[in-house]
């Protein structure tokens, strides 16, 4: 067995040489847990105190967003050197918010969120023209239909033509409803696996998709987190924050509740579309997240107030509820032991 090596803190030149070798793939490493997307992170095994993870990614490092968030005072990992398809990112450890969802960590996280949520991306930022808007939501809800309801849960498109037509109309209505209303800057994938716990407080990762979006999008993502069951005190704190945010910008409480509900429902159905795609690819590690996200969706759709809503809204709620409740087929055999 090769003994891991340690670089003395003062060995600046040696560290730079080792870092270069690590970037170029000339040192051994081990992959960390795979993400839902194409990025893959690895840690150097021969120099474990190197302090840099190696990232293989088809996308370049998010330098502009990292710089923007740091300028806002938000804790994010530093970015290092890069070459085509590979870059280095500061190693802040493996302890995520999901490992310790204490109320104190969520208070810190909400403070960090407020540092950037009210800001605007500067002109020239690569995400400045992007938004969490109705066209994007339509695309995400189409994936929910195709990858989750049809491919994963077994909705037969040949035998459910009328229901599918209603489902498409429901998704169209939801995309518009979720995109309506006030907006602010959103992380876009704000959940407990994208928050690291460090000696200096929480740090945000996976922030490359930062863009404007519906007011409650990130908070809805936290409250409907698919990766853990939130402690009651955390749920209460997030619900209070959601209420205070509406008051702060002068929203009528009823309108604020409707806006939050539509945003939360779109967000959790988007997550189910992603999980369906991953499960269809054999990623059994997302089975628990899928079950939890489905429970969140059913809870949102089960609210009797929305079954009494007028017109398109009522029909959308009813057909989405029917599709998620239906048990048309068992999951694939590879996952039967987890159900």
Report the chain's mean pLDDT, rounded to a whole number. Answer: 91
Helices and strands in the chain, H and E counts? 11, 9
Q: Where are the domains of the chain?
A: 12-90, 97-338
Angle of helix 232-248 versus helix 103-117 axis, rounded to 10: 20
**SS3 (DSSP) at 247:** helix
Confidence of residue 15 (pLDDT cuts 50, 70, 90): confident
For residue range 184-195, what is the model confidence (pLDDT) as tens digits? 999 999 999 999
Q: How far apart are CA 153 and CA 144, in angstroms?
A: 11
Q: pLDDT at residue 309 above 60?
A: yes
Write down the pTM of the prediction: 0.91
Confidence of residue 36 (pLDDT cuts 50, 70, 90): confident
Residue 288 or residue 9, greater confidence:
288
Burial class of residue 309 (count of CB atoms within 10 Å of its CB; 0-12, 13-18, 19+): middle
**CATH number for the 12-90 domain, one of 2.40.10, 3.30.200, 2.40.360, 1.10.3210?**
3.30.200
SS3 content of the chain, % helix, strand, coil (to 5): 50, 10, 35
Burial class of residue 296 (count of CB atoms within 10 Å of its CB; 0-12, 13-18, 19+): buried
Tell me what pLDDT residue 4 has: 56
Q: How far apart are CA 135 and CA 288, in angstroms?
A: 29
Q: pLDDT at residue 329 above 70?
A: no
* In the block, residue with structure tokens 């088809």: 58
- Copy the structure tokens of residue 105: 């960590």
Cα distance from N-terminal residue to C-terminal residue, the chain: 40
* In the block, residue with structure tokens 């009813």: 318
For residue range 92-130, what is the model confidence (pLDDT) as tens digits? 999 999 999 999 999 999 999 999 999 999 999 999 999
Q: Which residues pair with 44 in a beta bridge?
A: 29
CATH number of the domain located at residue range(s) 97-338 in this protein = 3.90.1200.10
Mention every residue, 6+ apart, whose C-beta is less than 8 A from residue 250: none
**SS3 (DSSP) at 55:** strand
**Average of per-residue pLDDT across 288-306:** 93
- Copy the structure tokens of residue 319: 């057909």
Residue 48 has, within 13 A of its CA and on its CB side, a CA count of 7
**SS3 (DSSP) at 210:** coil
Tell me what pLDDT residue 339 has: 35
Q: How many angstroms separate the Cα of 162 from the Cα of each of 14, 34, 90, 169?
A: 67, 39, 52, 11
Q: How many angstroms separate the Cα of 286 from the Cα of each of 14, 30, 162, 187, 280?
A: 41, 21, 31, 21, 10
């Amino acid at each position: 067995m090769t003994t891991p090596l340690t670089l003395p803190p003062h060995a600046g030149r040696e560290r730079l040489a080792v870092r270069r070798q690590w970037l170029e793939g000339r040192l051994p490493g081990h992959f960390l847990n795979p993400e839902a997307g194409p990025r893959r992170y690895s840690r150097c095994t021969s120099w474990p105190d190197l302090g840099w993870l190696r990232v293989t990614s088809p996308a370049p490092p998010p330098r502009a967003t990292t710089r923007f968030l740091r300028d806002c005072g938000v804790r994010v990992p530093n970015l290092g050197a890069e070459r085509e398809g590979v870059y280095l990112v500061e190693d802040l450890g493996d302890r995520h918010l999901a490992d310790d969802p204490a109320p104190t960590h969520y208070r810190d996280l909400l403070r960090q969120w407020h540092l950037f949520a009210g800001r605007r991306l500067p002109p020239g930022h690569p995400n400045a023209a992007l938004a969490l808007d109705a066209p994007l939501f339509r695309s995400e809800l189409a994936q929910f239909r195709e990858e989750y309801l049809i491919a994963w849960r077994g909705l037969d498109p040949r035998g459910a033509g009328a229901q599918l037509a209603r489902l498409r109309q429901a998704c169209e209505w939801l995309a518009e409803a979720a995109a309506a209303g006030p907006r602010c800057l959103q992380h876009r994938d704000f959940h407990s696996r994208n928050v690291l716990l460090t000696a200096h407080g929480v740090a945000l990762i996976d922030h490359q998709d930062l863009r404007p979006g519906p007011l409650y999008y990130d908070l809805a993502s936290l409250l409907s987190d698919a990766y853990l069951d939130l402690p009651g005190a955390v749920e209460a704190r997030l619900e209070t924050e959601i209420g205070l945010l509406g008051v702060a910008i002068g929203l009528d409480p009823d309108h604020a509740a409707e806006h939050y509900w539509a945003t939360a429902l779109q967000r959790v159905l988007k997550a189910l579309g992603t999980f369906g795609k991953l499960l269809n690819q054999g990623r059994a590690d997302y089975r628990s997240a899928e079950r939890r996200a489905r429970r969140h969706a059913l809870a949102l759709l089960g609210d009797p107030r929305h079954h009494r809503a007028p017109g398109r809204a009522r029909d959308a709620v009813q057909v989405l509820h029917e599709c998620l409740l239906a048990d048309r087929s068992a999951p694939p055999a590879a996952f039967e032991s987890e159900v």
